[in-house]
Structures are given as C-alpha cells and as structure tokens.
Chains A and B, each alone.
Chain A
C-alpha cells in the first residue's frame, strides 16, 4: 500500500534545526512581530509574522553538531576587544582564502548574537561584570566564551529551542528527511519553491511549498570513517544546493582535528574532548615506542604537546605510516607526568566520567589520532545568505567561505548563529515583499516519485547492504582524501566512489515504511556520493598545500593558488572553476 504524499505549505522553510536553523527561524518569525521581546506568552499571534516551518531529520535541536559542541565560542565581546581584531585573526587563519565579507559578518554580528543569547540565559561562564573568555590558538587575546562543564553546545541548543517555542509563527517538525529541492520557472528565473522528502515515522513522501527555503543542514564529516559528527552530517545540504543550481566553494578544505580520541573505547563523550585539557595542562604526545616525536617534524614541543593542529596531524600521520604508531594506529597522549591534584583541578567531574570508561590519567596514556571535524567549504552565499538561486538561502556550517582554508577555534558556532540570523532576516524580507509559496506539483513530481519509489527488497538480499556501502565510502575518503592527499590516492578515491555509485543502484531498497534505515542509507548514500565527488574533484585540482588541504606531491603553498574553487552541477556533470578571492570589504 503506497503511502499518499503529504502536502504542506509555509512561507519560510528552514531545513535543519541546529544553531543556524534555530536562529534563522527565530529571526524570521520576529521580523513580522515588530521585534517584540515580550515576556512569557507566545509571540506573533495574528500579526504580520511569516509562517516558519523548521524541519529536522532527527529531533529539533539535537540532530547535528551544535548540541555536540563541548568547548568554546569566539566573539569580540570584551570591552577592550574589537570585532576587527577578531576579523584580522580569522583572515590570517584562513590563509588567504576567506571571503572577507562573510568573515566580517561573522566577527561583527557574532557578538550581538552572543549577547542576545546571554539575555536568553544561555549561562555563559562569568567573571566580574562580564563574560569569562578563554584563549584559544590563533586568537590574539582571550576571546572565547563557554558554558561549564563541557556544556556549550547543549546550552546553546536548549536556549534557542526555548526561544523558538515562544513564537507561534514557528512550527517545529522532527523526523523529516529532505531529499530534494523543488525548482521551477518564475518571474525571477529558475526559483526554489520548496522541498521534497519523507517522514521517517511512516516513510510517506512529502512536499512542502515555501516562498523562501533556508538550508541549515550542517557539515559533511560523516564522509569519513573517523569523525566527530552525528549520523546526520553526510552533507545533505551541499547536494541539495548543487542539484538546485547553486555553487559550492572550496570543497577540498575539510578540517581534521589531530588528537581525536582513538582508544580505549570511550563512550558518552565527544571524541575531541582532549583539547581543552591540552590547553590547560600540556600533555605529552608519544609514538608507539613511547618516544616524543613532534620535534622531529620541526616543532618545538618541549615535552608539552602544544604544536599547531596541521603540524600535529602531519606528525602523527607520518609516525603511523613509518610503523611507529600506537597499537590502534595513532599516537599516545599522556598526562601521567602531571600531579594528580593538578589533574583533578583541570578535569573536574570529567575525571569520573573517564574513570567510568576505565581510564585513570595518573596511570594510563590514551591513544589519539586525527579525526574529521568541520568543513570550511560549502554553499556560496552573499552577506544576505542568498545563494544566487532565487528562493534559496543557506546558513551555518553548510556555507563556505568565512573560514577560508582553515578555521579558527570557536568560529563555527558564531558562524552558525550570525549566519542563521542573517538568513532569517533575508527570508522574512522576501516574504514581506510579497513573494508567496507557489509550488507547481509538476515540478515536484520526479522528486516525490523517488521519495516514494519501491526498489529491490533488502530483507530478501536482493539489494546490497547500504550500510556497508556507506562504510566503504567512508573508508575510501579516509584512506585517500584525508588530511594528506596525492594525485594517485585521489584517483583511487574517485574510482571507489564510482564503483559504490554503480552498486547502490538507481532506486531506494524496499518501499516506504516506518523508520526504514536501509532506505535512509540509500538516500544518504545518494547525497554523500555527490558531495564526496566534489571534495575529490576540488582536492585533485588544487596542486598545492594550504591550510587543511595538504598534498604530499605538492607540499608547498603556491601564491598563484590564492584562488577559490567553485563547483557546479552542469547538465548532470560536476564542473570546476577558479575564481579570484574577493577583496576585503571596505
């Protein structure tokens, strides 16, 4: 019994309910409410507020990276700080590739969002009259706010969700996976008029008409075997944008975090949790023979692990390749030389969570290795978060450009909040200008047919195991498109992706039914393959090393490559172009 498609309509559709999507929804809703910040009761009744539909493939505020972030958020909120200093540091970290307009937006509007979050009682750690700020690498001063202990992300998510709940104009809806955007001709040319997807709880396909659609789907680190991401971060937004005719920028720049936890198996903790303790205490990085090795790669480590992220990643990867890795293929991180009282003071309650995992830091070293963590590249937008395709906006990690070739610590959540707010504002303006939802069913028909299509039955063994294919894609990306790349490896990755594409087939397995992960895997694979192909294409073309993109066959940074790379889908094929980096905003 095929499920009938569900039809919905809204003014503003927000896809993804992390920091960017939640802020976008709130901003869009309040535009029509006269900026009201009334207390208690719901806002936006019967007034000019646009209707906002906030969708997520998981639970609202829980599905993405925002809720997982445990550390800090960068913003020039201190009286003696200035957003231009933050901008200076951001541009320097981006190694010449930042879009200076977007970086400026992040640094200029970030503080407003951080202070608004403070009024919403997010609970930033305080010091005296102000917010407590810590120093993170690459910043010229302590500029990072946080919520204790390791609670920044959950606090940000909870606060924004509570605010979103106060707006009657916002409808929140979980368990809906968006699979395609709808494109049709209109007065503005080819226009996005909504989206198609399916309801996970029943499997039923669904179409949503919207005057403006905001992609807030987060990053792509699920493309890698070892990542700090959630299972919702296969890069759906990049694929949705590409298919709708938008451009992607600098897709080769995937940030790896050097000391992601590797072993022993740690449960209930973010795998990048070691970093703050490294800042506080140092910590020795040792190879499989328990020797310090970082200084062999040109860094002065002095027994305290303080090397930069790219260098540490390089050194660990090299030691492992030379057969000097730790048992699970990484390096040892040891705090055993630090007195127990000092460990207690620095780790606080985290010591007990580690003990629950059988780790006693006074006695045991842990194994760490580079882990895919964030994506600098993404959908190309202007400072209004417009993609250039009418009706389509993007915000948050899915956007490319603000962080260039390398992201400064703490900039990602600021980016999500500031860009979400800007996108919400632009979308509300579009609706206020009179654009109404008008989805032509014919334009949605093909995507709806796919969302409801029946393919080979997985239970009968007629369909390949899609979860295994996802794992193969992750292996190919990790082995050949990790922090260090070669022409040969990238060609192998391209071959592996083509083989997986052929095996996955043209139709999702089974038919629509409740919570069918085999089907979901197929739809995920469809997006992951396209997105992985853009990363491989751009990485193969960039014959230099810069920031997060390191080519072993082109180890130097080439000033001639101070260029952005743009990927588009053109007649079904990916097309790569170069574009000059935009000049700094006046």
Chain B
C-alpha cells in the first residue's frame, strides 16, 4: 500500500524548530486532517493541531501551511508523497501546528 509521509513541525515557540516525520497509509480522497487525526489515535496522541468541524469547513480552525502555502487541513487532500506541515507563520505559536487564532478581544490575555 502507498503511504503518505507527513513532515510536521513540533514543539513550542520556545524550542528550536524541528520537524518530525510520520507515515500513514494513503487512502485516496482522505484529507490532511484525516491523516493528522489518525496519527494522534495510532502513533502520537500529543500532536497538537486545531480543528472542530472535521468535514464541513465551517469552523475555519484548521488553517496551516502545507509545503509553505496556507490551506485548510480538512479540505487539503492527502497525497502519497512527503508533505510538509507548519503552523501559520503570522500567528503566535502554541505548540506543533496549533496557533492563537481567536480575535484579540476574544482571548484571555
């Protein structure tokens, strides 16, 4: 079976940037978010990523960089190749792929 290799930025803003590779079986039609959730359930539950609606592309939480371009992870298709994932560059990094995206007046600080 073909596999997709996800190269994922890990850690917090305080740590030196590093990428970790995960391999998942490639199933045609799957989204990048499907693969990230599968990694969490099968390989590494600590992987941090934002999402809520999974399918409907309604919550707009899953924005990240795929090979340097901004995508929604829930609509970007998984491909049987190496795909590099990074957090949004212009938002404060929380951990891994998760950033602070709430409007300033809807945050705690």
Contacts and interface: CB of A to CB of B under 8 A. Distances in A.
Interface in A66-89: 67-68, 70
A14 interface: no
Nearest to B49: A517
A175 interface: yes
Interface stretch (A131-139, A235-243, A260-268, A400-408): A260-268
A518 interface: yes
A489 interface: no
A59 B59 contact: yes
Given A265-B29, A268-B74, A465-B45, A173 B107 contact: yes
Interface in A428-487: 458-459, 465-468, 470-471
Interface string B29-70: 111001001001110111111111111111111000000000
Nearest to A56: B106
Interface string A42-67: 00000000000000001110110001
B75 interface: yes
A521 interface: yes
A174 to B, nearest CB: 4
Interface in A255-273: 263-271
A108 interface: no
Most buried by A among B51, B52, B57, B59: B52
B75 A68 contact: no
Contact of B57 (A175, A264, A265, A268): A268
A190 interface: no
A63 B107 CA distance: 15
B47 A517 contact: yes
A63 B106 CA distance: 14
Chain B contact surface mostly:
loop
A162 interface: no
Contacts of A471: 41
Given A58-B61, A265-B29, A267-B74, A521 B45 contact: yes
A172 B95 contact: no
Interface residues of B, number: 44
B3 interface: no
Given A174-B106, A175-B102, A231-B54, A268 B75 contact: yes
A513 interface: yes
A231 B29 contact: no
A176 interface: yes
A58 B95 CA distance: 16
Q: How large is the interface on A (under 10, 10 to 19, 20 to 34, 35 or more residues)?
A: 35 or more
Interface string A169-180: 000111110000
Nearest to B98: A515
Interface string A212-249: 00000000000000000011100000000000000000
A276 interface: no
B17 to A, nearest CB: 16
B83 interface: no
Contacts of B29: 263-265, 267, 357-358
B94 interface: yes
A322 to B, nearest CB: 27
B101 to A, nearest CB: 7
Most buried by A among B37, B52, B56, B75: B56
Contact of B40 (A6, A459, A467): A467
B24 interface: no
A156 B45 CA distance: 34
Contact of B41 (A60, A467, A516): A467
Contacts of A67: 53, 58-59
A513 B95 contact: yes
Contacts of A264: 28-29
Given A67-B58, A267-B74, A174 B102 contact: yes
Contact of B12 (A175, A231, A468, A514): A514
Contacts of B61: 58-59, 62
A358 B30 CA distance: 12
29 contacts: A59-B61, A59-B101, A59-B106, A60-B106, A62-B52, A62-B61, A63-B59, A68-B56, A154-B58, A172-B105, A199-B108, A201-B107, A232-B52, A265-B30, A267-B31, A268-B55, A268-B75, A269-B55, A358-B29, A459-B44, A465-B41, A465-B45, A468-B42, A468-B45, A513-B95, A514-B95, A515-B94, A515-B95, A515-B96
The 9 closest A-B pairs by CB, nearest first: A265-B29, A515-B98, A515-B94, A514-B94, A268-B57, A268-B75, A467-B41, A174-B102, A230-B52
Interface of A: 6, 58-60, 62-63, 67-68, 70, 153-154, 172-176, 199, 201-202, 230-232, 263-271, 357-358, 458-459, 465-468, 470-471, 510, 513-518, 521
Given A59-B61, A267-B29, A515-B95, 18 more contacts: A59-B52, A59-B106, A63-B59, A68-B53, A173-B107, A175-B107, A201-B107, A263-B29, A264-B28, A265-B29, A268-B56, A269-B55, A269-B56, A269-B57, A270-B55, A271-B56, A467-B45, A517-B46
